[in-house]
Amino acid sequence: MKLSGAKILVESLKREGVEVIFGYPGGVVLPTFDALYDAPIKFILVRHEQAAAHAADGYARATGKVGVCLATSGPGATNLVTGIATAYMDSIPMVAITGQVKTTLIGNDAFQEADVTGITRPITKHNYLVKNVEDLSLIIKEAFYIASTGRPGPVLIDLPVDVQFAETEFHYPAEVLIRSYKPTYAGHPGQIKKAAREISRSKKPIIYAGGGVITSGAALELKALAEKIEAPVTMTLMGLGAFPQTHELSLGMLGMHGTAYANHAIMESDLIIAVGARFDDRVTGRLDVFAPGAKVIHIDIDPASVSKNVEVDIPIVGDAKNILTELNKIVKKPDTAAWLKQVHEWKQHHPLRYHDPDGAMIKPQYVVEQIYEVTKDKDAVICTEVGQNQMWAAQFYKYTQPRSFVSSGGLGTMGFGFPAAIGAKLGCPEKVVFDIAGDGSIQMNIQELATAVINKIPVKVAILNNGYLGMVRQWQQLFYKKRYSSTRLPHIPDFVKVAEAYGAVGMRITKKHEVRQALEKALSIDNVVFMDFIVEEEENVLPMVPTGEAINKMIMLEHLIGSLA
């Protein structure tokens, strides 16, 4: 049976189990949109292509499936770029499909032409420019395979309009064989034995877990290891949810805005067991003094990440779930009693806290704590924007399940949270989905209120409204003598009216005693809810490691306001 390229695309997406596509139409993708008209795939029309990429990303993070977005050529495709880069930095499986001008016009500066494969080459795991309709079904099969295997990432397919019109026999391949791409899934047995021996000899081990634990589905194996060897566990921003933060061995997040006890523990450890983490600069701080007395075991599926930033003593390349399963069979418990006592003392002396002497203003941390209280017994996904709101969400919400925290880590993309929440809710309709936002970030994709309302996607948005671009303002306060250059937001819109204009529900909360009531009311409403929490203007995210410092050299709350009783 002969099919057009557009119909081959749609039929191939069906074979890959695609349930939803996020996107925006345009001239050179009209053949594909015509084929989608009768397809059993839900299409979500966003109001900006960047939101399509973020929504596909949020869908992928929340479900573990490949997210799919679709845009036209030129500006449609380039509007996807920030979202593709966001997914690339955080290793999120995504297939982005873009229209392109006719193959005969490529390179001629045709209307709405852009070299999308060239533009996205540095921010995709792989990309394709389809020049022959006979190659299309294999390319789609390869794209989904590459996006979802090994270290996941976005793959782009650039599809010229004449290829969409062209016809050929449709055969969808049953499997993929790419000679140059063969991810390693089984860890080397000798290296696993070396790791087990090193762990048994250690006195101060710490497990450092990243997003790879969640990608691998290795949370239970990680918990089993921690409990077997009685070692504390700290997580990266992307690793939150990989280990329950209510567990006595949890140290929460480490790094620039991590807990003081996590930072002290990793710096004083004699063995770091890194699982699915990449030792990025926000975690390590000043590299030449990072964990000076520690040996490093690094478990990661991406060999390029091993010894990239921190020299590793025992590398184990492979899938985290497989490797931890084998390690748990042979590892023997070291004597960690004295170490756990020291870690407990750090936790007692340096808890996460904030200064609220009279309760006159709403503290943003309090809002996050209350979101936790109203959702802790529910199946919830917490999405964030980027900035102070993101760090408070990381610090003051206790994540206990994988895929319960959705945030832009590597790229730090403002405007990510709201469309990502839409994608997460579509992927997990039975879950409560919150977007914890800032008044700056939420305005970057606020037009997606229309997408959420029209498609009946009842996400809840908690705006921590401090009238500033808060994280940048914090740096200006601490390091630029409070010279608040272009960080004040003096013309904040009325978020209640904006929400209502789109058909959503808006609330403004100005008093502390109203916070819990507003959150509970929002959960009872079957609609999108924008909650505008008017919070303390100059509240800071603490602890904070200044740039260029070791991660145990933190600015603490008491440094700014004096010792608290």
Which pLDDT tens digit goes with each residue over 495-514? 999 999 999 999 999 999 99
State the Cα–Cα distance between residues 211 and 79, nearest whole angstrom.
26
Backbone angles phi, psi at 521, to 5 degrees: -65, -40
| 332-367 pLDDT tens trace | 999 999 999 999 999 999 999 999 988 889 999 999
| 509-539 pLDDT tens trace | 999 999 999 999 999 999 999 999 999 999 9
pLDDT value at 564 more than 50? no
pLDDT value at 196 more than 80? yes
Q: What is the pLDDT of residue 372?
A: 98
Q: What is the pLDDT of residue 492?
A: 80
Cβ atoms 167, 3 nearer than 8 A: yes
Q: What is the pLDDT of residue 563?
A: 41
Residue range of the domain that includes 95: 2-169
- The pairs formed by 101-109 with CB atoms below 8 angstroms and a separation of 24 or more are 101/28, 101/73, 101/160, 101/161, 102/160, 102/161, 102/162, 103/131, 103/160, 103/162, 103/163, 104/162, 106/160
- Residue 561 placed within a domain: no
- Residue 554 placed within a domain: no
In angstroms, the Cα distances linking 246 to 188, 208, 221, 302, 486 are 33, 17, 17, 30, 40
Look up residue 280 and give its two tokens.
């990025």
SS3 493: coil
| Co-location of 324 and 203 in the same domain | yes
Q: Name the average pLDDT for the chain.
A: 97
Cβ atoms 237, 266 nearer than 8 A: no
| 456-481 pLDDT tens trace | 999 999 999 999 999 999 999 999 99
| Co-location of 116 and 217 in the same domain | no
User: In this structure, is the dihedral angle defined by the CA atoms of residues 519, 392, 383 and 234, taken in order, positive or negative?
Assistant: negative
Q: What is the pLDDT of residue 447?
A: 98
- Quote the number of domains for the chain: 3
- Residue 463 placed within a domain: yes
- Residue 548 placed within a domain: no
Q: What length does the chain have?
A: 565
Cβ atoms 295, 271 nearer than 8 A: yes
| Co-location of 453 and 402 in the same domain | yes
State the Cα–Cα distance between residues 510 and 530, nearest whole angstrom.
14
State the Cα–Cα distance between residues 488 and 295, nearest whole angstrom.
45
- Residue 101 placed within a domain: yes
State the Cα–Cα distance between residues 80 and 64, nearest whole angstrom.
21
Mean pLDDT value of segment 314-325:
98
| Co-location of 422 and 470 in the same domain | yes
Q: What is the pLDDT of residue 471?
A: 98
Mean pLDDT value of segment 276-296:
97
**Domain end marker among 349, 380, 401:** 349
Backbone angles phi, psi at 95, to 5 degrees: -120, 120
| 418-469 pLDDT tens trace | 999 999 999 999 999 999 999 999 999 999 999 999 999 999 999 999 999 9
The side-by-side arrangement of strands in the sheet containing 405-406 is 405-406, 380-384, 432-438, 460-465, 529-534, 505-509
CATH for 239: 3.40.50.1220
The string of DSSP codes covering 162-193 is HHHH-EEE----S----TT-----SPPHHHHH
Give the model's confidence band at 122: pLDDT under 50 very low, under 70 low, under 90 confident, else very high: very high
CA 334, chain centre distance (Å): 34
Mean pLDDT value of segment 129-153:
98
CA 565, chain centre distance (Å): 37
| Co-location of 282 and 410 in the same domain | no
The burial of 103, by beta-carbon neighbours within 10 Å (0-12 exposed, 13-18 middle, 19 or more buried), is given as middle
Say whether the peptide bond before residue 543 is cis (omega within 30 degrees of 0).
yes
| Co-location of 324 and 402 in the same domain | no
Look up residue 102 and give its two tokens.
């006719």
Q: What is the pLDDT of residue 479?
A: 95
| Co-location of 253 and 137 in the same domain | no
CATH for 379: 3.40.50.970
| Co-location of 119 and 204 in the same domain | no
- Residue 44 placed within a domain: yes
Query: Cβ of 329: how many Cβ atoms within 10 Å?
Result: 9
**Please, which residues bridge with residue 405 across strands?**
382
Q: What is the pLDDT of residue 565?
A: 37
State the Cα–Cα distance between residues 247 and 258, nearest whole angstrom.
17
Give the model's confidence band at 261: pLDDT under 50 very low, under 70 low, under 90 confident, else very high: very high
State the Cα–Cα distance between residues 482 and 156, nearest whole angstrom.
43
Higher pLDDT among residues 259 and 563, named by residue:
259
Give the model's confidence band at 246: pLDDT under 50 very low, under 70 low, under 90 confident, else very high: very high
- Residue 354 placed within a domain: no
Conformational region of residue 83, where left means phi above 0, alpha means psi within -120 to 50, and beta covers everything else: alpha
Look up residue 55 and give its two tokens.
């929504």
| Co-location of 71 and 164 in the same domain | yes
State the Cα–Cα distance between residues 258 and 235, nearest whole angstrom.
9
Q: Which of 127, 125, 128, 121 is nearest to 150 (CA)?
A: 125
| Co-location of 340 and 406 in the same domain | no
Q: Which of 98, 82, 80 is nearest to 90 (CA)?
A: 82
- Residue 239 placed within a domain: yes
| Co-location of 379 and 521 in the same domain | yes
State the Cα–Cα distance between residues 138 and 111, nearest whole angstrom.
29
State the Cα–Cα distance between residues 367 and 386, nearest whole angstrom.
17
Mean pLDDT value of segment 289-310:
97
State the Cα–Cα distance between residues 150 and 276, nearest whole angstrom.
12
Give the model's confidence band at 562: pLDDT under 50 very low, under 70 low, under 90 confident, else very high: low
| Co-location of 226 and 321 in the same domain | yes
| 366-414 pLDDT tens trace | 999 999 999 999 999 999 999 999 999 999 999 999 999 999 999 999 9
Q: Which of 89, 24, 14 is nearest to 52 (CA)?
A: 24
